[in-house]
Amino acid sequence: MKPLLITSALPYANGHIHLGHLLEYTQTDIFARYQRMTGRRAIYICADDTHGTSIMIRARKEGRSEEAVIADMSAAHQRDFADFMIQFDHFGSTNSAATREVCNEIWASLQKNGRVAKRDVTQLFDPQAGTFLADRFVKGTCPRCGAPDQYGDNCDKCGSTYSATELVDPKSTLSGARPELKSAEHLFISLEPDHAFLAEWTAVEGRMPKEISNYLAGHFLAEPLRDWDISRPAPYFGFEIPDAPGHYWYVWFDAPIGYIGSTREWCDKHGERMEDWWRSDKTEIVHVIGKDIVYFHTLFWPSMLKSAGYSLPSRVQVHGFLTVNGEKMSKTKGTFVMARTYLDHLDPSYLRYYYASKLGARVEDFDLNVDEFVQKVNAELVNKIVNLASRSSRFVAKTGLSASYPDDGGLFEAAAKAGAEIGEAYAAFDFARATRIIVGLADRANEYVDRVAPWALAKQPGKEQEVQNACTVALNLYRQIVLYLAPVLPKLAAESGVLLNCAMDRFDLAQKPLVGTPVAPYQHLMKRMEMDAVQKMLEASRAGEPGEAPKAAAAPEASAGEAAPTTWDDAGDALAKEPLAPQCSIDDFTKVDMRVARIIAAEGVPGAKKLLKLTVSLGGDTTRTVFAGIKAYYDPKALLGRLVIVCANLAPRQMKFGMSEGMVLAAGDGENVFVLSADSGAKPGMRVH
């Protein structure tokens, strides 16, 4: 297997890490840990993205240097990542000598290849902040579709790209002032000479998710590529361009170069050659990014690498956006949760498991539903998996495991064979499929334990060997499950290794049973997740400063096998408001054809206060237009890509605003509405039975 270099997008140094960031870093960390567990050499490289106008403005406001600001933020970022068990091989900074050196090298290659041009640019200027505005610091109305609150380079509603000067009613995000137009000389890189190369490179099977390559082919690559503006005039915090005094490389020029600069720093520390990682066909490079920065990593970045003779990534894995309870993260609702606030209240293993259980290989937005979060962690992770150890290990704490592996009816062998499919899912970034298989193994292991009931055998004289054999089987099945989950839950794997006195660092250890070894006294491995702790976290997020939420008292730890008290809002008010309908027969029920569908378009209906117009896909080319009265409860953009349940055989209804061809199922109590969602793994077109 070729050595593997893995990166995540670089976190920006002007803010603390939040749950949206952690989706990507957890995804990347799981992939890297799995690769290492297979014996493959894999290094995970990252850095802070430090340059740009906002750092400069913040430093001015705080009365200190930009270097002091980014040093503090780097320390905070690395603390948060470490506490979430994100294991980087090196975490650097784009404001480094190594990154500057690579910037100079790539710039020289672009100059040599005749790819750099100069021309005056009329750009938005913030009169209050006294600086030209990068695209990310301007918001306004999209000039193409009219969507409000869009950034200055692209619209996340219609996907159009444009110049910030084209925005309708632009506003500076730095000061809130209305920007003025000013002209200044800028430097550009021409991308069109690489058009044919990029079209071919992005279309390679497995290079990136198919929907991304199709999107690039149908949008950016369907017409001549525009030149890329890569400089900003002073004042600007960044690297001054060597042959253009007073001009600085735009942050998106040096940010991806930070991957190489950070790798160079790692190589210098470990006696490695950077060329073996970035200029070698014997190494593979994988980038993990969000869908909002696709064109930087699949058009601009490959063109830069090609110009300077660097290796191109073999894969660009793309994920969607994170929503919480079906909506964008919101500070007022407490759902804009900082990493440190989460850590003050909840076990990071909970979030790592939940993310893994929902993350597939496709580019889909990801909803963190709080109720599902608690239920999934408790039902699957604590009750089904950790409970296996607590139910079995205490009976063999004195005897250890049996000298030979007992007959288990083929359970261990079947789980060993499942390792190949689980590994394939991890390698394909389909963590949801991996965890579904693992939970299935836990179900079968629990069925075995329930059937043999070692706690009942232990009460019967003369059954000592049967007890030892039963627990040997149960703990070996548990060990397989935790080995398979080790990329997701490294802390649980390490603690389980202490319990069972065995290594937990290689995937192939699940192929051979553990026998004749001692078992340590059981220590609680994981407690149940309490909804009360979640609510305290959300309250702290509403009240606290980013990254500095108030501390909460730790909840008393409960045994993994005990039913700790849980607070549920099940008083029955909703049922009282809307009593059960009269009984129906199974024949009546089967007349209603309910299907899983994906929302592929969502927009408000002009003139309608309550309605959203939804286009849902039932798979393939089959779509339906549905009008749903959920406008007051859901941002249309947050619904895109979401799996929902629709009544697919409802007679079409002509409405004032158009024909409605079905119904999206939702629950409500008169004050709130909750769209019903299918669990991860469901696909459009599946029937609800």
Task: Choose the weakest-confidence range: 58-72, 230-244, 383-397, 553-567.
Answer: 553-567
Helix crossing, 464-485 with 490-500: angle to 10°? 150
| Sign of the CA dihedral with 459 first, then 465, 466, and 468 last | positive
Q: At residue 5, does pLDDT exceed 60?
A: yes
CA proximity to 404, closest of 461, 479, 473, 477: 473
Which helix (H) or strand (E) segment holds residue 452: the answer is helix 431-452
pLDDT tens-digit series, residues 125-143: 999 888 888 787 899 999 9
Percent of the chain with pLDDT over 90: 73
DSSP three-state, residue 461: coil
Tokens of 649: 């055989």
pLDDT tens-digit series, residues 511-539: 999 999 999 999 999 999 999 999 999 99
Tokens of 5: 């270099």
pLDDT tens-digit series, residues 538-547: 999 988 644 4
Tokens of 429: 């970034």
User: What pLDDT shows up at residue 105?
Assistant: 98
Q: At residue 61, does pLDDT exceed 50?
A: yes
User: What pLDDT shows up at residue 680?
Assistant: 53
The Cα angle at residue 180 between residues 179 and 182, in degrees rounded to 5: 130
Q: At residue 360, does pLDDT exceed 80?
A: yes
User: What pLDDT shows up at residue 163?
Assistant: 84
pTM for the predicted model, two decimal places: 0.76
* Distance separating alpha carbons of residues 457 and 463, to the nearest angstrom: 6
**CA 390 to mean position of chain CA atoms:** 31
Structure confidence at residue 574 as a pLDDT band (50, 70, 90)? low
Q: Which residue has the higher pLDDT, 334 or 359?
A: 359
User: What pLDDT shows up at residue 565?
Assistant: 28
Q: At residue 448, does pLDDT exceed 80?
A: yes
Instruction: Provide the mean pLDDT of the chain.
Output: 90
User: What pLDDT shows up at residue 575?
Assistant: 60
Buried b (16+ CB within 10 A) or exposed e, 604-636: ebeeeeebbbbbbbbeeeebbebbbebbebbbb
* Distance separating alpha carbons of residues 547 and 532, to the nearest angstrom: 21
Percent of the chain with pLDDT over 70: 93
Is the distance from CB of 81 to CB of 91 less than 8 angstroms?
yes
Q: At residue 398, does pLDDT exceed 80?
A: yes
* Residue 311: partners with Cβ closer than 8 Å, 6 or more residues away: 277, 278, 279, 280, 281, 283, 285, 305
User: What pLDDT shows up at residue 551?
Assistant: 29
Which helix (H) or strand (E) segment holds residue 348: the answer is helix 348-358
Tokens of 578: 């809307």
Tokens of 682: 């469901």
Which amino acid appears at position 205 of this protein?
A: E
pLDDT tens-digit series, residues 225-243: 999 999 999 989 999 999 9
CA proximity to 259, closest of 239, 236, 286: 286
* Distance separating alpha carbons of residues 308 and 523, to the nearest angstrom: 55
User: What pLDDT shows up at residue 129?
Assistant: 83
User: What pLDDT shows up at residue 543?
Assistant: 80
* Residue 33: partners with Cβ closer than 8 Å, 6 or more residues away: 87, 486, 487, 490
Q: At residue 174, does pLDDT exceed 60?
A: yes
Q: At residue 207, does pLDDT exceed 70?
A: yes
What letter would DSSP give residue 558?
-
Backbone angle region of 586, left / alpha / beta, with phi > 0 → left and psi within -120 to 50 → alpha: alpha
Mean pLDDT calculated for residue range 331-347: 93
Is the distance from CB of 390 to CB of 559 less than 8 angstroms?
yes
Cα torsion 21, 24, 25, 27 to 10°: value is 150
Structure confidence at residue 563 as a pLDDT band (50, 70, 90)? very low
Structure confidence at residue 605 as a pLDDT band (50, 70, 90)? confident
CA proximity to 346, closest of 622, 530, 114: 530
Q: At residue 62, does pLDDT exceed 80?
A: yes
